[in-house]
Amino acid sequence: MSDMHPPSAAAPDIHSVADARKHIRTYLIVGVALMCGTVMTVWASLIDFHSREMNIALALLIASTKGFLVAGFFMHLISEKKMIYAILSFTVFFFLALMYLTLLSMAPGNVVQIR
């Protein structure tokens, strides 16, 4: 099996070897950022804020940032086609509706008490 082969024609986001190298550098930086984010998540969970809600909020904030990095750079969502954004906009709508209904169902007056 040959090692070298002309790059695929269906590669709109990587046009040249130089372009690919630039992308590889980005992937490595994102990978390191994700690992640092993991350490931060553990560190933040060990801090006593005298409020569990604060720990939960911080952990979810870091996890969301990491999620954005994976989706944005590894899954190339920061530069995708409109069709994918359209599909995901429906997903986001229904996901948020699901979470809203979850919160709505929990207590009268929509007050969520984290115990």
Partner 1 sequence: MEIPYTVKPRPDTGLYNAKLGIWLFLASEVMLFGALFSSYILLRVNAEEGTWPHHWLNIWLGMTNTFVLIFSSVTVVLGWASLKMGQFKRYKFYQGITLLCALVFLCIKSVEYRDKFMHYEVHLKDGRIADGHLQPAETTDKTLVLEGRFVTNHAELMEGSLHHGGEPKIEIPKDEIVSMENYGPWHNTYTAIYFTLTGLHALHVIGGAIVIFAIWGPLAKMWEQDPGRYTNRVEVSGLFWHFVDLVWIFLFPVLYLL
Q: Which residues bind partner 1 (CB under 8 A)?
A: 1-11, 14, 17, 20, 23-24, 27-28, 30-31, 34-35, 38-39, 41-42, 45, 52, 55-56, 59-60, 62-63, 66-67, 70-71, 74-75, 81-84, 87-88, 90-91, 94-95, 98-99, 101-103, 105-106, 112-115
Tokens of 75: 């899954």
- Cβ–Cβ < 8 Å for 110, 103: yes
User: Cβ of residue 62: shortest distance to partner 1, in angstroms?
Assistant: 7
Cα angle value 50/36/45 (rounded, 5°):
15
User: Cβ of residue 32: shortest distance to partner 1, in angstroms?
Assistant: 9
What amino acid is encoded at 101 in this protein? Answer: L
How far is 68 from 32, CA to CA, in rounded Å?
A: 14
Distance of CA 18 to the CA centre of its chain: 27
Q: Which is nearer to partner 1, 27 or 78 (CB)?
A: 27
Q: Which is nearer to partner 1, 67 or 78 (CB)?
A: 67
